[in-house]
Amino acid sequence: MSDRTVVWEGRFLTAVTEGPWEYAERKRDIGAAVIVAVDADRHLLLVEQYRIPVGKVCLELPAGLVGDDSEGEAVTDAARRELEEETGYHAASVEEYGEFYSSPGMTSERFTIVVATGLTRIGDGGGEENEDITVRRVPLDDAPAFIAERRRGGLGIDAKLLLILGSGLLADL
C-alpha cells in the first residue's frame, strides 16, 4: 500500500508527497516535444521567453506539451504544431531522437527530443498571446558560442541545450 498523498492539483500539474519525497507530476501522463529545428542553411532555431518560475528570460529550444488539448496526439504532430506556433516555421520532416526526463528527483516530467528539417517560414511565430516569444536563428556552428554569450548576458539557459550540445546531435545535422 502506497503512502502517496496529493497535496495540490492544478490544470497540468499535481503536487505529491510519497514517503520522504515531494514531487510534481504531469497530469494525464502528458509529455513534451522539444524541437531541434535546423533549416537548409544550417541555422538552429532557438526561442527566448520570460519564465515566471525562474523570474527571467530564458533561451530554449522550441517546445510544447503533447496532448494537452487533444488526447492521443502524436509527438511528431505536437512538435510540428508547437514549432509553427512558436517560431513561424513548418517542418516537412520530424523525427524522434529519444525520450528524456528533465529532473527525475523532482518531477515526473518527460520530453522527447525531435529533429525538424525541411523548414519553410509560414509566419512570424512568437507563440500564443501570453507567451511573447522571440525567435533566434543561429548558425549551427556558432550555437555553442551564442548560448554562452546569452548566458553571460544574464539569460537563463534551459539545460536541454546542454543535452543537444553534448550529445553530438548537432554535428550529425
Which active-site residues does the annotation give? 129
Relative orientation angle of helices 160-167 and 143-152, to the nearest 10 degrees:
150
- Compute the distance between CA of residue 169 and CA of residue 173 in angstroms, rounded to an integer: 7
- Compute the distance between CA of residue 41 and CA of residue 149 in angstroms, rounded to an integer: 22
- Compute the distance between CA of residue 60 and CA of residue 48 in angstroms, rounded to an integer: 6
